[in-house]
């Protein structure tokens, strides 16, 4: 994901978590979730799949999906701020800024090449 996609991802992940938090011990149907946050089931699942990668890396299981319903896991240690921090560290602008701070004499050519390498990965 890039720039605007990440912003939408965060926005809707927060909305999904907000809706699930309202009914913490109960499941909510995808249909109801679709109506509440104005996204299709396919898009919701795409965002959850993206989130799943982060969760696997950090051994977190925040959601339980069964059949056509989803709910928060009672024992989840999911933290939105940790997610945001992790995703930010992978952002190209963040990596370039870090490079400039760590190497103040870096040339604009080196930064351009660094950005090009990041975009290819």
Per-domain residue ranges of the chain: 3-77, 91-120
Question: Is 3-77 assigned to CATH 1.10.10?
Answer: yes
pLDDT tens digits along 24-57: 678 889 999 999 999 998 988 888 888 887 788 7
At residue 31, the pLDDT reads 92
Three-class DSSP category at 34: helix
Largest CA distance in the chain: 56
Three-class DSSP category at 45: helix
Regions of the chain where pLDDT drops below 70: 1-4, 6, 24, 76-77, 80, 87, 89-90, 92, 118-121
At residue 4, the pLDDT reads 58
Which phi and psi angles does 48 have, rounded to 5°?
-65, -35
In angstroms, the CA 72 to CA 52 distance is: 13
Q: Can you spell out the DSSP letters for 73-108?
A: -TT----HHHHHHHHHHTSHHHHHHHHHHH-TT--H
């Amino acid at each position: 994901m890039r720039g605007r996609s990440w912003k939408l991802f965060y926005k809707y992940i927060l909305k999904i978590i907000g809706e699930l938090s309202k009914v913490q011990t109960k499941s909510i149907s995808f249909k109801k979730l679709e109506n509440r946050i104005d996204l299709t089931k396919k898009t919701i699942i795409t965002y959850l799949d993206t989130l799943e990668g982060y969760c696997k890396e950090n051994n977190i299981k925040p959601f339980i999906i069964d059949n056509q319903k989803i709910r928060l896991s009672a024992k989840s240690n999911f933290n939105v701020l940790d997610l945001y921090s992790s995703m930010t560290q992978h952002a190209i602008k963040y990596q370039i800024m870090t490079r400039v701070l760590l190497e103040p004499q870096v040339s604009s050519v080196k930064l351009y090449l660094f950005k090009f390498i990041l975009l290819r990965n």
